[in-house]
Structure 1
Amino acid sequence: MRLVLKNCSVLGLFIIVLIIFNSCGSRKNMVYLQQDSTQISNLYEQYIPRIQKNDILTIVVTAADPKVTVPFNPVSSMTNSNMTQSVDMALRPTYTVDNQGYITLPMLGKIHVEGLTRIQAIEKLRIELGKYIKDPGVNMNFNNFRISVLGEVAKPGSFILPTERVTVLEALGMAGDLTIRGVRKNVLLIREVDGKKSMHRLDLTQQNTLNSPYYYLAQNDVIYVEPNKSQIDNSKLGANSNIIISIASLIITVISVLTR
């Protein structure tokens, strides 16, 4: 009987070591952007986000004489030096891009901005404002540049960003990085353009990802990190854990009775 118990102990130890070994990821599956012969040529300007329908833009018109900008800034007169930055931003005028790609501004009327970059839209507004104001300035930002990160990350969720220049690695950093169980070779990016969704896969272990047109994110992108095989197997085990624990307890009890 002691021999049986000894063999059971050895078997149990072997199983534990095997589980630990299988749960450990190799370097090639874990390290980001491993060095290879890839030539990094990705330029942000090639993939800069464009203004889309239903985007919300914060637009503030400036000039040497603040008084001449009042008609173009509906709430600018409400701001003052005593306001905090967050309150000041909340009071700034916002404009929603309609289904035809236009925004409607005071005095200027409807301006088509869909498909333009933020810099291009600013320049277009400066030209229109130049009809009324000498050397006008335009501050424009996305007010709803939101990305979502789901799956095997430390802090999944949605994030509203103050800038449209953000990479997939930065987004994962905001979510606390991938967990040890996340698959770095097959990260899914879901993007919607003109109402059509598309899915793209990124291998974060390869430097070539830096050249991907999806390395820089667009508004409303969703990143999903799938669990590795070990995590999936563990989830299956967890679903039956109560049964396994009960069976194990019964076996231990029987062995204890027989060895008395």
Structure 2
Amino acid sequence: MLKPQERVARADWKGIAREMDAHGCAPTGPLLTAEECRRISGLYDEAALFRSTVDMERHRFGRGQYRYFDRPFPDLVEELRQALYPRLLPIAREWAARLGRPGHWPDTLDEWLARCHEAGQTKSTQILLRYREGDWNALHRDLYGDLVFPMQVVIGLDEPGADYGGGEFLLVEQRPRAQSRGTVTLLPQGHGLVFTTRDRPVPSARGWSAAPVRHGVSTVRHGLRHTLGLVFHDAA
């Protein structure tokens, strides 16, 4: 059986970069097996593994619940973060160059997180989300502080159509001087989706402009939907 790092390496990263340029999000293909997905989603009820729980309806984020993992993270979560960061880094740096922003992210995730911690961003941001029938997530951006890595990954842990209905991943982009554009994605079990947590560079008369992007989840019509969210910066 392939390890998560090997599955990340097998993804079409040139194709992912093209999809990100075109749409602000891109499927990775399979990153986890069905058994690994069940193992991770089964952790949700082990409260000691998490630093906090968020009730979305209480905070007017939507309806549903998610939990932030505490350190140390489960092995699969940490292995995926470490494997994905260097693959996303060239895309992040290229986008920063287009937008005239500093592409100051170091070569390793550990170095980058050390910078976050020095700046006071020390809270873990790896998320396990649970949606039941009628739950949904409002459009938002996961920024958490001044130091931001502009891309993140969400992985579906249940099978759409079998375990739940609805619950599509939504990405909405506000293009400069134009109507908003939306992308709808169903996440197959074990498959990842890379997406921007800030802006997508879009061509303009002056070179490149920043199109702000937000993401959310449509209403779950039936069943139970779990996802794993991998964020590459910590929270203040």
Assess same fold via TM > 0.5: no
Q: What TM-score, normalized to structure 2?
A: 0.27
Q: What TM-score, normalized to structure 1?
A: 0.25
Report the structure, 1 or 2, having the larger helix content: 1
Q: Pick 1 or 2: higher relative contact order, CA cutoff 8 A, min separation 6.
A: 2
